[in-house]
Amino acid sequence: MTNQQADFGTVERSALPEQIAERILQMIRERQLKPGDKLPSERELAIAMNVGRPALREALRALAMMNVIEIRQGAGAYVTELETAQLIQHLNFVFSLDDSAILDLFDARKIVEVGIIELAAQRVTDEDLAELEANLQKSVSSTTDPDQFVLVDLELHALIARIARNPILLRFMESIHQLGLASRRRTGRLSGVQDQSIADHRHIVEALKARDPHAAREAMLSHLGNVEEKLRQMVAAQSDAGEDFPPEGMGRE
């Protein structure tokens, strides 16, 4: 599909590539460009927007890095499928650097995941509970492998989101999980976090077994609060020591 007739508008010749990229993003937000659409050729686009081709190329490269467009060699530029998981990929890097962003993420998780688990407690089936039990066993057997432990942790929260059986909330959780990788990789290196998480997860599963929304809510809040407190302690310790990241191996058993 092509958009030769789309009104890309003109941009001042002195405009920065960021302004060119923002105009294309605006067209996507306004549905003038849709997933799968082919952009006009570089020459046509430069003329339509009244910009130089070097600035246009830089803008297109930036959009490609954001996974908003895909540049196909010899075939031109296309709007991607705009999948959430792809679009937020690079935010993992931001979260790996910015402690305040990670702490903000916990605020979001407390709102979204607590609501999700209340629904899950009302909708959980015996088959779901069997999957959750299997996940708990994998957590215990993954304590010597921090990377695997992170994946099993993510799996538990993903299972709970699926048990809630709400596709919109599931999409929210998919986004939050992508962003949460950076924070989990950092907190997973802290002493005691794995043991605490396993105990917290056991309480969460027990509340789901009881099909008790209130108990499930409290168990999830307690779990998120425990991990957040560990993270705050880490940030404070690093600030006092002038460090950015925990020393390699810290907290590994």
Q: What is the pLDDT of residues 128-141, one digit of tens each?
A: 999 999 999 999 99
The predicted structure's pLDDT at residue 91: 60
Q: What tokens were used for 130?
A: 């069997």
Beta partners for 71?
Answer: 77
pLDDT band at residue 231 using 50, 70 and 90 as cut-offs: confident
Average pLDDT over residues 19-32: 92
- Mean pLDDT over each residue of the chain, to the nearest integer: 84
User: Does residue 10 carry a pLDDT above 50?
Assistant: yes
Q: Is the pLDDT of residue 178 over 80?
A: no
- Which residue's entry shows tokens 């997860």? 201
Q: Which of 208, 157, 203 is nearest to 179 (CA)?
A: 157
- Write down the domain spans for the chain: 17-82, 87-241
The whole-number pLDDT of residue 142 equals 93
Ordered alpha helix ranges (H), the chain: 17-29, 42-49, 53-65, 84-87, 91-97, 99-123, 126-141, 146-164, 167-187, 193-209, 213-241
* pLDDT for 95: 56
Phi, psi of 74 (to 5 degrees): 80, -5
Q: What's the pLDDT score for residue 106?
A: 86
**What whole-number distance in Å separates Cα of residue 157 and Cα of residue 208?**
13
At 184 the pLDDT is 74
pLDDT of residue 232: 83
Q: What residues contact 19, with CB distance under 8 A and at least 6 apart?
A: 11, 12
Bigger pLDDT: 137 vs 230: 137
Q: Which of 25-34, 176-185, 226-235, 244-253 has the lowest mean pLDDT?
A: 244-253
**Architecture of the domain delimited by 17-82:** Orthogonal Bundle (1.10)
d(CA 127, CA 74): 50
Question: Do the beta carbons of residue 158 and residue 164 sit within 8 Å?
Answer: no
Phi, psi for residue 50 in degrees, rounded to 5: 60, 45
Q: Residue with structure tokens 């999948």?
A: 83
pTM over 0.85: no
On whether the CB atoms of residues 67 and 89 are closer than 8 A, the answer is yes
Q: Class for domain 87-241, per CATH?
A: mainly alpha
Whether 245 has a pLDDT exceeding 50, the answer reads no
